[in-house]
Each structure stands twice: as structure tokens, then as C-alpha cells.
Chain A
Amino acid sequence: MKSNKLALLAFAALVGAGSLISSCKKDDVKNQTPTPPPTKMTLYDTLGGTTMVADPASPGKMIEKGRLAIRGVVDSSIFVIAGDPKMQPYFTKLLAEVGAGNLTGFAALSESFTTFVATATGAKNFTYTGMNMKDAHDPAKNGRMAQKADAADFDIFVGDIVIGAKKNGVPDEIIGRLGTILNSVKGDVVQK
């Protein structure tokens, strides 16, 4: 009789444990979060994304790898633009020498344009706070624009960016993606 009771208890324990294990398994399946589909890498991610690296231009400071790569392209492009007389009317501050203690045109443009491109390529930690491209290139809304830009000038500008990117060793595939992004604002920039 006693052994029957023990056998019954053992059986009940086995069934109970079995049901607990099986229910746990079911719960695991139920609670398992579905694996998110792989997100498409942005151009910013391709260029290094948010990985922090030492900033060669600012000793002791860190910078996102994606931003550093974009700044390299932007800085090279600014050199090209500064040497291009056709772009001179649009970037006069670049070569206007300032006194010590003032922000130079190069530093200001490098910072602003890097932020603009970084944001456009998918950076999440920066915000471009300037005017939208349409208003920024409309002399009626932006007094700093002496004249409306035409398609030829825009193409020269993009060409200078490409030269700068090539000087910086950026692969053609990435230059193509960058060109697509720049051309996406052509309709807003070209107003003549």
C-alpha cells in the first residue's frame, strides 16, 4: 500500500515536472521576441558609423568614425572648391583671412557641411539646423545668396566634391551613393 502511494507520488511528480518543463518550453516560444529583419546599412554606417575613434584634428577628443570619414571628404573638397574660380562667388569666405581668435571660413564650412552630409547619409547623433536647401538658395529668402544657382554651377560643385572624395581614397561605389544624395537636392538648389 505504502509502495503504491510512493509510486503514485513519483508518477504525479514526473507528470508535474514534465508539464512544467513542457509549459516552460511553450512559454519560451511564446515569449521569444521575433528576430528583427536585418536593417539596411546607411551610407554613414558604411563609412564607419558611430564607432568612436580619436580625432586627429583635435588631440584628446573622440569623433564618430563615420563623421571623421565624411569630414575628410568635405575638407578635401573644400580645397578643390577654393582653387576653383567658378565656385569662388559662392564661397568667398573660404579665402577671406580672419584675425587670430576668429572662426575661419574653412573651419565654419567644414563643420557645417560635414554635419549636413552626415545627417543626409544617415547619422543619428547630429542635426543640421541650417535653412532648408530651397530657402537657402533663394536670394529672396536668403540675403546671403547674391544670385540664383544654375544647373551648370551645381554640377561643377558636385564635380569638386567627387574630386575631393577621390583624393581622399573614397571608393567609387560610395562616391556614387554620395552623388545620389547630393543630386537629390539639385531641384531645390538650382533655381535658375
Chain B
Amino acid sequence: MKKNQNKYCFVIDSESININEPMKKKKLFRIVVVVSAITLILFGTLVVHIAMVTNPKDKPHYGVQLSRIDFKTPLDSLQANEVSAFVKSIKGVGNTMYNYQYHNLVFSHQVEIISGQEVYEKLVAEKHVDATRFFMTPEEIAKTAKCPVMTEKSVLMSLAHQVQLYFL
């Protein structure tokens, strides 16, 4: 009886192994497919989310650049107003602010319409002011500190740049 029982058990085990092996493979394959699909969907969602959130075109000041012109001699209020009015009249220029303490003019402009250099050249050509355009070389920018709220080197920002590069 004991012998039969053992035999019986052996047969069942053997059959179960033989029957379940392809099923296990099939199940494993299904799991891999489902997990891959979910991962793909989640990654796609993340990419779409990043694309939507970090799209620079959605920023309120997209394309608005600040530039500065430094005057070698201080301007009085009349001259400052005249210079500001002229710069503001140039197509693509937004706001202007003359800084009396440091005698410079800060102005905003749409980079797609006009560059800071072009504004400077127009001002010098028209008003004959003794001034230089302030600009920094890429090396100077890399050397100096930046505002801490611009987290441009974070992993998320790197991913965002990639997303913008390939999807926008």
C-alpha cells in the first residue's frame, strides 16, 4: 500500500511538472508583456507630462530677453527719458529702465525679433551716445555663480531638455 502510494505520488508530480512547464513559461511571458506595457505607458505619460509642464512656449515671458547698455557718463532725466523712449520705440523692445545710480539702461526685447546688439547699434547710430553694450562670454557665465532658483543642472531639468529636444 505504501509502495503504491509513493508510486501514485510520483506519477502526479511528474505529470504536474510536465503539464505546468509550458504554462509557467506562458504566464511568465504574459507578466513580462504586461509589466513592459505598463512601464511603457508610464514612461509615455511622464514624457507627455514633462513636455506639457516644461514647454518654454507656455512660459509667460517666452522669448523675452534682458539686455543692458552701460553709459560712460551719467544721463540727466531728460536724456534718460529720450533714450528710453527711443529704445522703447524699436520694434521688438518691451520695457526699459534707466538706472540713475549706475547709469545703465536695462531693456527687454523679443529675441526672435531683435537682438540686444542690434538695439545697441540703433541707439548709438541714432542718438550718438557714448555707451557700451554689456555682455558676458560663455566662459564668464560658466565661472560665476548663478541664481539658486534656476535648477538647470538637476536630473529633471536634464530629462526636460531631452524631452524638449526630441518631442517639442
Contact = CB atoms under 8 A, between A and B. Distances in A.
Contacts of B153: 143-144
A142 B59 contact: no
B137 to A, nearest CB: 9
A102 B104 CA distance: 26
A167 B100 CA distance: 14
B59 A111 contact: yes
Interface residues of A, number: 53
B59 A89 contact: no
Given A95-B136, A97-B135, A79 B145 contact: no
B106 A103 contact: no
A145 B151 CA distance: 11
In the complex, which of the residues B58, B60, B108, B141 has the most CB atoms of chain A within 10 Å of its own CB atom? B60
Contacts of B148: 130-131, 133, 136-137, 142, 144-145
Interface residues of B, number: 41
Interface of B: 56, 58-68, 95, 97, 99, 102, 104-106, 108, 111-112, 115-116, 134-136, 138, 140-141, 143-153
Interface string A87-98: 011111111111
A47 interface: no
B136 A92 contact: yes
Contact of A97 (B115, B146, B149, B150): B115
Contacts of A106: 61, 64-66, 108
Contacts, number: 140
A92 B144 contact: yes
Interface string A68-92: 0001000100111011110011111
Given A83-B102, A95-B136, A109 B65 contact: no
Contacts of A89: 144-145
A55 interface: yes
A92 B97 CA distance: 18
A107 B59 contact: yes
15 contacts: A55-B60, A58-B60, A83-B68, A90-B146, A92-B141, A94-B66, A97-B116, A100-B112, A105-B66, A107-B60, A107-B62, A130-B148, A131-B148, A136-B148, A144-B150
A105 B31 CA distance: 47
Interface string A109-142: 1111100100000000000001101001100001
A78 B99 CA distance: 12
Contacts of B102: 83-85
